[in-house]
Structure 1
Amino acid sequence: MTIVDFREEIKRLDVAERILLAEEIWDSIVENQEAVAISQAQKDELEQRLEFYSNAPEKGLSWQEVKLRIQKSK
């Protein structure tokens, strides 16, 4: 089966089945985290963001605030 065939099979699934498939794929990736390396640029960005947050935590938003903003923007 080629990737094109696989893509067509996925399109035939209903939304709930595609969500379950995505969860299964994600779980299989998480099980092997060592294989998912991040680049030095990504590490640097994370360090920069952590430092910014550490210096000014009041400027950050809680998950609830972020979620509310997203819901309001829809």
Structure 2
Amino acid sequence: MAVTARSLGIDKLDLNERLALVEEIWATICADARRFPLSQSQRIELDRRVADDDEFPDDVVSWDEVRASIRVRLGR
């Protein structure tokens, strides 16, 4: 049987709990990142993004701002 949000009961969590769970899952994926080597094009793109961030460090949006914007768009 496939693992689904419903089979795990995730669909019963409220929005904040689901977002927190996504963050937690993403953290575990990042911890295993060494097991998935990047392609040359992916490495180039990441290097480009790091250089852009270094050049424009204040050109960012916080996670709280992103989350609030999403909630406004979803009407929640």
SS in 2 for 1:59: coil
Which has more radius of gyration?
1
SS in 1 for 2:58: helix
Structure 1 residue ranges without an equivalent (≥5): 1-5
**Which residue of 2 is the match for residue 44 of structure 1?**
44
Q: Is the aligned partner of 1:72 residue 2:72?
A: yes
Q: 1:73 to 1:55 in 2, by over 3 A?
A: same
1:1-74 to structure 2, matched below 5 A, reads 6-7=1-2, 10=3, 13=7, 15-16=9-10, 27=28, 32-74=32-74
Q: Specify which structure has the higher proportion of helix.
A: 1
| Residue 32 of structure 1: how far off its partner (Å) | 4.6
Residue-pair matches, total: 62
Q: CA RMSD in A?
A: 3.3
Structure 2 residue ranges without an equivalent (≥5): 12-17
Q: What's the TM-score, normalizing by structure 2?
A: 0.53
